[in-house]
Amino acid sequence: MSLFQSSSTESENELEQTADDVAQSVETNVEEDVEEAKGSDLFLFGAVASILYSMYQYYVKGDTERALFVGQWPQTILAVAIYLRHRRDDD
């Protein structure tokens, strides 16, 4: 009977170790995803802010040249975000 109990205890220890490893792996992946989301949110915020500023310049201020100039920014901001993401993924 003690042979059965020691085998059971070893199996439980292995399961606990495996569960701890999985939990640690999941925690690490979640932290990386959160950091990635923060960076992506910053670029997205910049793109949306430039769209809103462009609309402000066009409709409120009436400065069409500045509105068109600022209206070019979102594409550039998002292109830089995509480039940085691909560069990070390649490393």
Q: How does pLDDT run across 32-82, given as a tens digit for each residue? A: 666 666 778 899 999 999 999 999 999 999 999 999 999 999 999 999 999
Residue 26 lies inside a defined structural domain of this protein: yes
Query: Which residue in 81, 58, 82 sits closest to 69, CA to CA?
Result: 58
Residue 3 has pLDDT above 60, yes or no: no
The per-residue pLDDT for 26 is 63
Residue 4 lies inside a defined structural domain of this protein: no
Mean pLDDT of the residues in the chain: 81
Residue 1 lies inside a defined structural domain of this protein: no
Q: What is the pTM of this model?
A: 0.60
Residue 77 lies inside a defined structural domain of this protein: yes
Q: Which domain holds residue 82?
A: 9-90
Q: Distance (Å, rounded) from C-alpha 46 to C-alpha 42? A: 6
Token pair for residue 56? 């402000």
- Map tokens 């201020």 to a residue: 61
The pLDDT confidence band at residue 88, using thresholds 50, 70 and 90, is confident
Residue 2 lies inside a defined structural domain of this protein: no
Q: Give the count of domains, the chain.
A: 1
